[in-house]
């Protein structure tokens, strides 16, 4: 039975090909790849003299295409099954003659085929690199295409596995991007911290790098530095094999879950009353530290009721979850600092502090877009915005309450990772001034993530669309500037790279700590003013949008 005879595949392909989002993603990848090549295309016919330039432009092009796959591919599979369940069509599909295997193949292959279409628009740019010399099809281009397709298959499998278990679209997107971040970036952390120390721990950390495509891309593009090692762990063949094995495992788990009996969720049992209620309440408060069901008699006048409403009603970000998450972040930051201090003799405190900065930025990029993108879009989708319009609360109070509910959550996450910097200052007291600048840079990054995500939320009618768009925009801003940084020297000069990095407060934090590759740039305090200007502009646009949404029909 061919793939075209699969009704799920045909339905998904038709619906996605008619969507403007697919066309926008394809055009964006085509423009990005073409622009990178045109910046280095020779003005005369001396191709052999620019062969090294072709290799240099092939490097940022490969990382840019990989970044596009990471940002754009997981969005649809992460939301397709949970959306079907919320609409009530998933149960109908499972009750129809369509088997769970055909349902999964239709959802999976539709996303993989469209991902291949998005990757294929970069073939003219890759062919131009081949024409310039220094890049071959067998050694560079074909392995790169195989790595990108493997990434698309793996991320689609992860997204479908999360989607079949998630209860909401925003939670599915958050968990999917979190798992991708864990496998692609955070899996390199142990090797960066303890990889230079001999022993079993370093050996295990080096083996863990096979989960990430970054070492394989570095080996293909000839990049220096980073987690690349001369061993077999960084070869692209090993990554393809490991990624295929992971995809098969996630696919098997998802198909096994596509069962009407397993998809049934029990209703809440309610609160315990009568005998044993007091004992159960005492144990619950001991386990949670703060009882999630405890309510105060009223809200004081000096407290914004919209902020209290956000803390009490949203699933992610409530008080008992924040306490657990903050405690976990504090423990992880201290453990990373202790592990990294074992290698201070050869790595240096600057590289260790750079790892902590990347950890904090990763947390901001993972949590911030998910919380900020649901502030307005979730209210409009659920119908709660009509209730807010009927209240005497002003648009400014609604805006400040919703934004501050996310700001306080992100502030707690940042404060939880500060003990690591305290240890760094104790190891090297001269870093105290630099640590202050790093904290300011991270606060600016937090304001940018929250304001951009909230602004996007005001113009969307669906929480899933707002979350996916917020992740794409924020990751493009923070990770896209790093792609330009990878091509520093040639074709991009130092001045241009420095101006591009001004839009990334994370790069300002790395430059303040003297992280290798960022020590030559002077980004503060200009990067702070640029970030605050972007945040202020987004909040002004959001305030104008809220005035429109609160006007009578």
pLDDT tens for each residue of 452-508: 988 998 888 877 778 878 888 888 888 778 777 766 665 667 777 888 888 888 888
Rounded distance between C-alpha atoms, residue 299 and residue 12, angstroms: 47
Residue 57 included in any domain: yes
Q: Output the six-digit token pair for 362.
A: 């990763």
Domain match, 452 and 345 both: yes
C-alpha distances in Å from residue 219, one per residue of 63, 129, 147, 223, 234: 12, 17, 12, 7, 7
Q: Which of 238, 263, 288 is the last residue of a domain?
A: 263
Domain match, 169 and 256 both: yes
Q: Which of 263, 278, 293 is the last residue of a domain?
A: 263
Residue 274 included in any domain: no
Domain match, 258 and 406 both: no
Residue 342 included in any domain: yes
Domain match, 215 and 136 both: yes
Contacts of 266 (CB under 8 A, 6+ apart): none
The string over 441-450, giving b where at least 16 C-beta atoms fall within 10 Å of a residue's C-beta and e elsewhere, is bbbbbbbbbb
Res. 189 pLDDT band, cuts 50 70 90: low
Domain match, 197 and 338 both: no
Domain match, 77 and 205 both: yes
Domain match, 395 and 513 both: yes
pLDDT tens for each residue of 198-221: 566 666 777 777 888 888 888 887
Q: Which of 263, 289, 321 is the last residue of a domain?
A: 263
Beta strand residue intervals within 368-478, DSSP E: none
Residue that has been written with the tokens 């630099």 in this structure: 434
Q: Is 39 helix (H, G, I), strand (E, B) or coil?
A: coil
Contacts of 170 (CB under 8 A, 6+ apart): 316, 370, 373, 374, 378, 463, 464, 467
Neighbouring-strand partners of residue 492? 488
Rounded distance between C-alpha atoms, residue 178 and residue 467, angstroms: 13
The string over 186-209, giving b where at least 16 C-beta atoms fall within 10 Å of a residue's C-beta and e elsewhere, is bbbbbbbbbbeeeeeebeebbebb
Rounded distance between C-alpha atoms, residue 121 and residue 115, angstroms: 10
First to last CA, the chain: 53
Average pLDDT, the chain: 77
Domain match, 312 and 198 both: no
pLDDT tens for each residue of 311-370: 777 666 555 666 666 677 666 666 666 655 555 445 555 666 666 777 778 778 878 888
Residue 199 included in any domain: yes
Residue 418 included in any domain: yes
Q: Is 117 helix (H, G, I), strand (E, B) or coil?
A: helix
Residue 124 included in any domain: yes
pLDDT reported for residue 157: 93
Domain match, 223 and 356 both: no
Q: Is 492 helix (H, G, I), strand (E, B) or coil?
A: strand
Residue 1 included in any domain: no
Q: Which residues constitute the domain of residue 21? A: 15-263
Residue that has been written with the tokens 């295997």 in this structure: 101
Secondary structure, 3-state, 291-328: CCCCCCCCCCCCCCHHHHHHHHHCCCCCHHHHHHHHHH
Residue 270 included in any domain: no
Number of domains within the chain: 2
Domain match, 176 and 325 both: no
């Amino acid at each position: 039975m061919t793939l075209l005879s699969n009704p799920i595949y045909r339905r998904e392909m038709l619906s996605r090909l008619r969507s403007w989002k697919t066309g926008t993603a394809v055009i964006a990848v085509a423009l990005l790849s073409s622009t990178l090549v045109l910046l280095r295309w020779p003005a005369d016919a001396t191709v052999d003299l620019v062969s090294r330039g072709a290799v240099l432009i092939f490097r940022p092009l490969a990382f840019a295409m990989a970044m596009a796959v990471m940002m754009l591919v997981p969005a649809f599979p992460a939301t397709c099954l949970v959306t079907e369940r919320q609409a009530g069509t998933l149960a109908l599909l499972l009750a129809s003659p369509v088997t769970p295997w055909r349902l999964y193949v239709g959802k999976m292959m539709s996303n993989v085929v469209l991902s291949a279409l998005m990757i294929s628009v970069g073939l003219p740019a890759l062919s131009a690199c081949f024409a310039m010399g220094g890049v071959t099809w067998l050694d560079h281009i074909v392995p790169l295409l195989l790595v990108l397709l493997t990434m698309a298959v793996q991320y689609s499998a992860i997204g479908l596995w999360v989607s079949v278990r998630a209860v909401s679209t925003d939670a599915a997107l958050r968990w999917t991007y979190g798992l991708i971040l864990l496998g692609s970036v955070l899996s390199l952390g142990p090797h960066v911290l303890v990889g230079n120390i001999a022993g079993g721990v370093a050996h295990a950390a080096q083996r863990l790098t096979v989960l990430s495509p970054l070492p394989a891309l570095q080996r293909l593009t000839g990049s220096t530095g980073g987690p690349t090692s001369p061993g077999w762990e960084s070869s692209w063949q090993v990554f393809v094999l490991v990624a295929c094995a992971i995809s098969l495992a996630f696919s098997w788990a998802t198909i096994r879950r596509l069962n009407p009996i397993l998809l049934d969720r029990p209703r809440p049992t309610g609160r315990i009353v009568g005998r044993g209620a007091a004992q159960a309440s005492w144990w619950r408060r001991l386990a949670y530290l703060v009882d999630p069901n405890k309510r105060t008699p009223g809200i004081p006048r000096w407290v914004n009721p919209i902020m209290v409403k956000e803390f009490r009603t949203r699933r992610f970000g409530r008080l008992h979850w924040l306490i657990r998450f903050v405690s976990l972040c504090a423990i992880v930051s201290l453990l990373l600092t202790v592990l990294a201090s074992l290698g201070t003799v050869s790595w240096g405190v600057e590289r260790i502090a750079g790892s902590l900065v990347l950890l904090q930025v990763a947390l901001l990029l993972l949590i911030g877009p998910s919380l900020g993108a649901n502030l307005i879009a979730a209210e409009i989708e659920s119908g709660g915005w009509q209730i807010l319009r009927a209240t005497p609360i002003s648009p400014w109070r609604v805006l400040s309450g919703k934004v501050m509910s996310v700001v306080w959550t992100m502030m707690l996450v940042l404060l939880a990772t500060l003990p690591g910097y305290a240890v760094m200052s104790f190891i090297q007291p001269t870093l105290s001034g630099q640590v202050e600048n790093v904290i300011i840079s991270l606060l600016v990054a937090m304001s940018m993530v929250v304001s951009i995500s909230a602004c996007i939320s005001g113009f969307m009618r669906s929480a899933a669309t707002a979350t996916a768009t917020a992740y794409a925009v924020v990751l493009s801003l923070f990770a896209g500037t790093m792609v330009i940084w990878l091509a520093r020297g040639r074709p991009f000069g130092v001045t241009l790279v420095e101006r591009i990095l001004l839009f990334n407060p994370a790069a300002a934090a790395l430059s303040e700590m003297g992280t290798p590759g960022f020590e030559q740039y002077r980004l503060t305090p200009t990067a702070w003013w640029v970030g605050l200007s972007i945040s202020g502009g987004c909040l002004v646009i959001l305030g104008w949008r809220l005035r429109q949404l609160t006007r009578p029909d």
